[in-house]
């Protein structure tokens, strides 16, 4: 049964936000792996890559930012659909996010519907890619 639950990775340097986003996804039927930095995911996340349906990543983090992470994953050929999350969005950031292949860019604070919609689209994206 549990195997049927989709897995989402969440990366945010802000602990309360990380905890809350993970909790929301979990109660909505997702399994969640939480990471407090991009580096932590790069180091530990490869093990779950195969099961990972989507990554929800904060753009502004100390060290590697969310945008940089997309580049890193591309380089590592770890194709995971990414939902970027930002506390301070602007048009420039938006275009950069989509240029890097992000599925969605969410503006904090986002609603449950926005989050589930973005994660859902990411899952579809992943399926499409897998079938291709």
Partner 1 sequence: MRAPTGTAPQPNSPRASSVEPARQLAELHNIYATAPVGLCCIDTGLRYMSINERLAALNGLPVAAHIGRTLREIVPGIADLIEPVYRRVFETGEPVFDAELEGRTAAAPEVDRAWMCTYSPLRDARGRVMAVNTVVQDVTEWKAHERELRAVNESLRQRDEFLHIVADRLPKAMLFRVVHEPDGGFRFTYASEGAEEVAGLTIDTILREPTAVTDLIVPEDRPRFFDAMTHSIETLSPFDVVCRLRWRDGTLHWGHFRSAVRPMPSGGAICEGILLNVTSHRRAVEELVETQARNQAILSGLPDMMFVLGTDGTYLDVHVSDAQRLLMPPDQFLGKNMAEVMPPDLARQFESCFERVRKDGSASADYALMLHGERRHFEARMVPCGTDQILSIVRDVTESKRAQHEVQHSRLELAHISRVTVLGEITASIAHELNQPLTAILSNAQAAQHVIAAGRDLGEVGDMLSDIVEADQRAGDVIRRLRTWLSRDQFLPQRLNVNQLILDVEPLIRSELIMRHVRLTLDLDVAVPDVTADRVQLQQVILNLALNGIDAMQELPFGERQLTIRTLVSGNEVQCAVRDRGTGIHPDHMDRLFDAFFSTKPTGLGIGLRICSSIMSAHRGSIWAVNNPEGGATFSFKLPAADGRA
Length of the chain in residues, anyone?
132
The closest alpha carbon to 115, from 40, 30, 34, belongs to 30
In a 3-state reduction of DSSP, which class is residue 13? Answer: coil
Using CA atoms, how far residue 75 sits from 84, 86, 100, in Å, is: 18, 23, 12
For residue 77, the minimal CB distance to partner 1 (Å) is 23
Q: Verify binding: residue 99, partner 1, rule CB under 8 A.
A: no
- Contact status: 112 vs partner 1 (CB under 8 A): yes
Asked if 95 touches partner 1 (CB under 8 A), the answer is: no
Q: Report the residue number, 62 or 130, with the smaller CB distance to partner 1.
A: 62
Work out the end-to-end distance of the chain between its first and last CA atoms, rounded to an integer number of angstroms.
Answer: 27
By CB under 8 A, name the one of 6, 65, 83, 103 that touches partner 1: 65
Residues 14-53, interacting with partner 1 (CB under 8 A): 14, 16-17, 19-21, 23-24, 26-28
Cis peptide before 86 (omega within 30 of 0): no
Structure tokens at 21: 């986003």
Q: How many residues lie near partner 1 (CB under 8 A)?
A: 29
Site residues (vs partner 1, CB under 8 A): 13-14, 16-17, 19-21, 23-24, 26-28, 60-62, 65, 68, 85-88, 90, 107-112, 115
């Amino acid at each position: 049964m549990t195997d049927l639950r989709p897995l989402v990775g969440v990366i945010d340097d802000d602990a309360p936000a990380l905890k809350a986003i993970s909790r929301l996804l979990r109660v909505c039927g997702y399994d969640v792996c939480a990471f407090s930095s991009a580096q932590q995911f790069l180091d530990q996340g490869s093990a779950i890559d195969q099961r990972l349906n989507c990554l929800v990543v904060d753009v502004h983090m100390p060290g590697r930012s969310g945008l940089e992470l997309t580049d890193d994953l591309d380089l590592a050929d770890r194709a995971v659909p990414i939902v970027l999350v930002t506390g301070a969005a602007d048009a420039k950031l938006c275009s950069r996010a989509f240029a890097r292949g992000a599925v969605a860019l969410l503006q904090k604070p986002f609603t449950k519907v926005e989050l589930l919609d973005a994660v859902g689209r990411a899952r579809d994206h992943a399926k499409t890619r897998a079938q291709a």
